[in-house]
Structure 1
Amino acid sequence: MRSTPAAQQQTRTILIATAGVWLLAYAAMTLGWVSAAAPHFWDGAFRRAIICLVGAMMCLAMGPLLLRSTPWPFVRRLALAAGLSLVGSLIFGVLDYTVYVVILPRWPESTFWGVMLIARTVFWFFGAWAAIFMAVHADLAAREARFKLEAARVLATETQNRMLRYQISPHFLFNTLNALATLVMERQNDRAEQMILGLSGFLRRSLERDVREMVTLAEELDGERQYVAIEQIRFGERLSYVERIPAELADALAPNLILQPVIENAVKHGLSRTREPMTIEVVVAAQAGGMLSITVSDDGASGAGAPPGLGVGLENVRRRLETHYGERATLTCGVREPRGFQVRLDLPLERA
């Protein structure tokens, strides 16, 4: 048996509806005696309460049969509800006759068919209860379907995010291990040791954090400094790194490792086509409308002959922003003048 909060709410609603329907039925059948000044009112009212209680239990017994008909077409379910209501009202009429006429009769003028006329009235109460029951169950089924759809959407988003995140490591590891092999062959042991330690710290940080985790900009930039430190071992004084972030934005939130492909893109394309030094600059600023902008720019050769559109790394970042923020976040990029490349991320300003 289901015990979800929605199912528990459904059970409470059905019990309340059952009590309400049969209290209304009791009032309708009992108050008529007041206007008619019928004798033995309190005796009759007590007996009517017992019969209505049995009627409520009969309704609850109809519930499992109505549930089993859920896969049926609507017309067949409606026919079943009407048939169960008819059977219930006939049983109610027989019970009514037994209680009022057969057991200690106080109303000798009552006849079987006269008492059975009440079944015609009670039929509508059974029908109303069946309609309420099916409506409540349909609402629960709709909510569960929406919950499953949302759960599937979240799972798909998490899976996509995880796949995008895992695309980061192969490119970075390939370049770093190649550089490490070069340092070893050139017997630059001190630099090789620094690179190993830096790589160890960077990978530990990456693997310890959940793919769905949001981090503060202070934590994100700390990880990017570790990455840049590894690249600086490869390129030496040719690579410089600058951050400009206001202290009041250090606790702003961003997806974990969202900047790593952007900075890697700058290193890969900015330094690969020239022997000149290059500076990577990260600028963070708050914008109007509760937005946060993060700009990564370089003055290297990455802008020269840059192909239109986004490369694999930047497309990865764009898709991660889309899966997390939807249309609220954007990525724009382009060539800088007089040289270099610039990538800007605009996302909602959220704080830890």
Structure 2
Amino acid sequence: MSLALPRPLELHRQGLFWLLHLGGWGGYFALGYLQAVAHGKPAGYWMVPFTAAATGAVATLGLRMLLRRCWDMPPARLLALVMAAVLACSVVIDTITRGVLVGFCETCAPINHVSRLAYSLNYIYVVLAWAGLYTGIKLYRQLQDETKRVLAARGMAHQAQLKMLRYQLNPHFLFNTLNAISTLVLDRDNATANRMVQGLSSFLRHSLDSDPMQRVTLRQELDALTLYLDIEKVRFAERLRIETEIDEKCWRALLPSLLLQPLVENAIKYAVAKRVEGGLLRIEASRNGAQLVLRVIDDGPGCEALGNGGLQPGNGVGLRNTRERLQVLYGERASVAVRNRRPGIEVTLQLPLETASGISE
């Protein structure tokens, strides 16, 4: 079952059909007329090729209606039906054209049924060419439409996957933040509690309003990350120390929104929250040829699950989320690497370096 085409596209295709149809039969008439002139035919002989072209144009319109109506039939039945229709069209064209031709050539009239049958095949090659061209164009259009539908479905699936990954806010973060606010309220530290509520509101508003399909500059990403870190600073105060080292050439680099947030959240969870003395969180951005290199580093106890090849797939929701987002967007052009630093863990992201003004050289 074929899907209905949008009206502008259908009108465009109808216009293209009539252009090719009338242009093709017009060209057939012009060729026949030039042959008549070349063979010294009488002045009025142009009626013969004109009649053939006009009759052919009308007859093949009927063939077109038949093809459109029976297009979904099994190929063998469709082929048999088309061949019968092509023969019928050839008979109609020859019968009408020969009636005009006899006025210029009396010997051209068929003398028996055998000659009539032979004459009726004169135009079969023209109608076959028309049917072959029409079928080829129709199959090509169907292939194009199917390709577009597949690409659209794949794009929608990628968008859904990215949105799912993007909206997976860690419930531990919300729980811990709300618990910290509750503690501040019980301690009657209303000013700090209010500041923390405002910070949480700003971060959640930014997180939910930002389009997961839209890429942002590194500066915008760090501004959004600051909203999150402001909340954590209220929770951990001086226990959370933050350092950044950003290459000046990377500020306008594009990356998926809130890409670094789950990595920073992991670092705080394991390197800061579980230690009385807190810890250091360092964010770096640099350029390596045509790659943007991002690093999130902490000075925590490290991870025993890390092997020689890095963190195995499936360990860590934040890391898995980040890896899948980069895989969907960039494929093999992006990578995620995790290693122990002793002390701490370093998470390195590499992705194609593109800027707000276009792809960098």
Does residue 1:292 correspond to 2:292, yes or no? yes
Who is 1:344 aligned against?
Answer: 348
Does residue 1:226 correspond to 2:224, yes or no? no
Who is 1:305 aligned against?
Answer: 304
Residue 190 (structure 1) shift: 1.9
Residue 202 (structure 1) shift: 0.9
CA contact (8 A) 2:272 2:280 kept: no
SS at match of 1:121: coil
Who is 2:141 aligned against?
Answer: 140
Who is 1:109 aligned against?
Answer: 107
SS at match of 2:123: helix
CA distance in 2, matches of 1:315, 1:215: 21
CA distance in 2, matches of 1:126, 1:3: 30
Match of 2:40 among 34, 37, 42: 37
Correspondence 1:235-274 to 2 at 5 A:
235-274=236-275
Match of 2:5 among 2, 7, 15: 2
Q: Which segment drifts farther, 7-16 or 173-182?
A: 7-16
Residue 31 (structure 1) shift: 4.8
SS at match of 1:144: helix
CA contact (8 A) 2:271 2:278 kept: no
C-alpha distance 117-181 of structure 1, shift in aligned 2 (>3 A): same
Q: Which segment drifts farther, 182-191 or 105-114?
A: 105-114
CA contact (8 A) 2:47 2:100 kept: no
Structure 1 residues 2-59: Cα deviation after superposition (integer angstroms, max 9, x where no partner): 3467656654554454346435543564455445434x2x311134214302312321
Who is 1:77 aligned against?
Answer: 78
C-alpha distance 348-8 of structure 1, shift in aligned 2 (>3 A): farther
SS at match of 1:187: coil
CA contact (8 A) 1:253 1:349 kept: yes
SS at match of 1:168: coil
Correspondence 1:324-343 to 2 at 5 A:
324-337=329-342, 339-343=343-347
CA distance in 2, matches of 1:206, 1:299: 27
Correspondence 1:52-131 to 2 at 5 A:
52-101=53-102, 105-112=103-110, 117-131=118-132
Residue 77 (structure 1) shift: 2.1
TM-score, normalisation: structure 1: 0.89
Identity %: 34
CA contact (8 A) 1:22 1:125 kept: no
TM-score, normalisation: structure 2: 0.87
Match of 1:317 among 313, 316, 322: 322
> How many pairs were matched up?
344
- Structure with more relative contact order (C-alpha pairs < 8 Å, separation 6 or more): 1
CA contact (8 A) 1:97 1:116 kept: no
C-alpha distance 282-36 of structure 1, shift in aligned 2 (>3 A): same
Structure 2: give runs of 5+ residues left out of the alignment.
357-361
Give me the CA root mean square deviation.
2.3
Structure 1: give runs of 5+ residues left out of the alignment.
none
